[in-house]
Structure 1
């Protein structure tokens, strides 16, 4: 053993303060409510980092929860995310049953965000989804992941970059109430020794990396959200295609802002071919807003389309009594993220800020009224459906 173990764990957790220091890069660094929000945000990322650094190894892979409202920053409410460390020079088999989710996808890359100081080092992306795989009639399947296709292998195969360090899985659901999530295993096919006991040096090094994770993650996500605000301001959408990951997906983020007695009307054409699309609200720090007990998101299954074929949603602090209410959960400013996945066009929505009392004058005359009883039932169904998915 080369390291002397400090009797205080706080010594190794000191980098957590770097995450709190990122308060300076929020929209309101002197607002005590902002400071209070940044504290639990730091804890969510720290709680996930245990999985990242202690749960599994590339030689002994295993699925761990990735982005969700308990563990770290923005998740897509429609997605369940899993992660396992891998190595680009090893061969892996993922097998199980596809379930009935709308989309099942796999992404491999060098690092996950939060694991390196320099996000430009994150690369080596390779992706496949269920359209690229062959399944048995009952949904069973297996796929080999490796840098080169194994000699003689004729089944499902996916390339991983020789520098690969992690695999991410998305279970993307449209109808939360009826779709069944996949069941998956991952195993390394190369000869490896038994999973070892960690040395004291290894434990201390991993704890130190855990403590660095929240600041790294926060810097990356604040940069993304602040970039949108700097380029287009509030209540304007900006189309973005991420480099590498989810090549089929175009995002349309915005930073929203409204006040008491106001509403924001989001309006857009819809692509003719739209395998998947959604919209969600985030807080000012890029965390998904409460989406189990709040109607803070919708997707192409749940959304109600107007009689003219356009989609309209309304952000308001109180229930406006119309379809597609996006509840900002008490926040008067924050982020919006929409997604067009593999669509044949990429329309850019608009946002109109109006008085809540004049909302119906700004909507089509045949916009239905959603009664309090109907809204309560909508929320009850959402709560049940979301709780029945395994989010961690």
Structure 2
């Protein structure tokens, strides 16, 4: 990482291990345990329970406490990095982990993609900002920068894809943000009134080699006030915890409004997703003796993945079980399409999706980045079959694995996942 960073980065190999991340996580954990924030958490738990406890199956209600904790810490973590006068960079919407000498709680919610690194930077119209980035030796497959206007980062005001930016031969780039139009500046975002965050997604197809960009931010004009106090940040956390329930519940219900099949691909921007993304949603109820076969095309997309979520719309535990596959992890069929099998037991198919013992799961398939305008459009199909008849129902030449190969697949997954919390 050849940025002139001084003591900012705390790891030579992991750009996410930096001073901002360490200090903001510690701040968020302090806020999370304040009596006033804990009271808001208790109110949010009541709000969630009143609209779900008679709807959710027992195995999903067993996850209720974890869901509420993830949701409330997500709200608190976002609130901790709210100061646009003194901007910092923070990874959000992540599974919990142990690093920096502390154990950070989970913050999964809203259909989080475990193959993404999500980061937020507080910015505001009227300010002038500069983001300096460094692509890694093995960079992310797909990176986007969005200006958003709410605490759920679901209301996009403007968007810029990294593939449209000017990047130096050594991987360095500079993105500017202010009130002025971009004009001929390719690396610029104009901030309209109401801008709250710059929201950055690094999508990593290959966990074993790729790393997200190394980023630093600075405000170019003088701040208009001293840093926000912890009392002010706690008030924002409380507001987020209580008000974001409504959008979070709406996002969950998107998956329930349809038959048990993958929906036709469509843009995600209208419901708070990435505006340049095509996605397909599914909700499946599985018995022990059933399987779901899902087959999709590549559509020339730069980045693709498929991810399983619980009914709270949190990605399933991702380190030790194959609950997701990216374009670098999935194996193609003989015809170039990609077939996945969702089943309670391992069917020996390379592209198996493990529901972690849950009989109801939500599925999200994404296509991102379409450099070839002549490529075929995204397509997907799904059907439920008896597990005993799976073999005859599969398309020809679906890739298989032995138990030993599955163990190796999971071992690679674990080692790659652990890089996300590495400090060395």
What is the TM-score of this pair, normalised by structure 1?
A: 0.86
Please state how far the C-alpha of 1:128 moved relative to its aligned partner.
Answer: 0.8
Q: Secondary structure at the match of 1:104?
A: strand
Counterpart Cα distance in 1 of 2:125 and 2:259: 41
Determine the structure 2 residue equivalent to 1:80: 117
Q: Secondary structure at the match of 2:74?
A: helix
Query: Which residue of the other structure, out of 175, 181, 190, is the alignment partner of 1:143?
Result: 175
Runs of 4+, deviation exceeding 6 Å: none
Tell me whether 76-85 or 363-372 shows the greater mean CA deviation: 363-372
> SS of the counterpart of 2:63?
helix
Note if contact 2:108-2:315 (Cα within 8 Å) is conserved in structure 1: no
The structural deviation recorded for 1:59 is 0.5
Distance change >3 Å, CA 11–CA 138, structure 1 → 2: closer
1:296 pairs with one of 323, 334, 341? 323
Contact 1:19 1:215 in 2 (8 A): no
Task: Please list the CA deviations of residues 130-182 of structure 1 after superposition, one character each: whole Å capped at 9, or x if unmatched.
Answer: 1121111110111111120589x967322222321111111111111111321
- Residue 237 (structure 1) aligned with residue 263 (structure 2): yes
Q: How far has the Cα of 1:285 moved from its partner?
A: 0.8
Seen in structure 2, the aligned counterparts of structure 1 residues 263 and 30 have a Cα distance that, compared at 3 Å, is: closer
2:73 paired with 1:47: yes
CA distance in 2, matches of 1:268, 1:197: 48
Q: CA deviation at 1:366?
A: 3.0
In structure 1, what is the Cα distance between the partners aligned to 2:273 and 2:250?
17
For structure 1, the 5+ residue unaligned runs are: 1-7, 115-121
Seen in structure 2, the aligned counterparts of structure 1 residues 28 and 305 have a Cα distance that, compared at 3 Å, is farther
Cα distance in 1 for partners of 2:56, 2:398 equals 41
2:306, 2:366 within 8 Å by CA — same for their partners in 1?
A: yes
Q: Report the counterpart of residue 307 of structure 2 in structure 1.
A: 280
Residues paired across the two proteins, number: 371
Return 55-64 or 153-162, whichever deviates more.
153-162
- Corresponding residue SS for 1:39: helix
Q: CA RMSD, aligned part only?
A: 2.7
The one of 308, 333, 338 equivalent to 1:306 is 333
Matched with 1:131 is 163
After TM superposition, give the deviation of residue 382 of structure 1 in Å.
0.9
What's the TM-score, normalizing by structure 2?
0.80
Q: Structure 1 residue 275: deviation in Å?
A: 1.3
Which consecutive unaligned segments of at least 5 residues does structure 2 have? 1-32, 96-105
Are residue 256 (structure 1) and residue 295 (structure 2) matched? no
1:155, 1:311 → 2: CA distance? 35
Once residues 261 and 215 of structure 1 are traced to their aligned partners in structure 2, the CA distance between those partners, rounded to angstroms, is 41
Q: Structure 1 residues 43-52 or 104-113, which shifts more?
A: 43-52
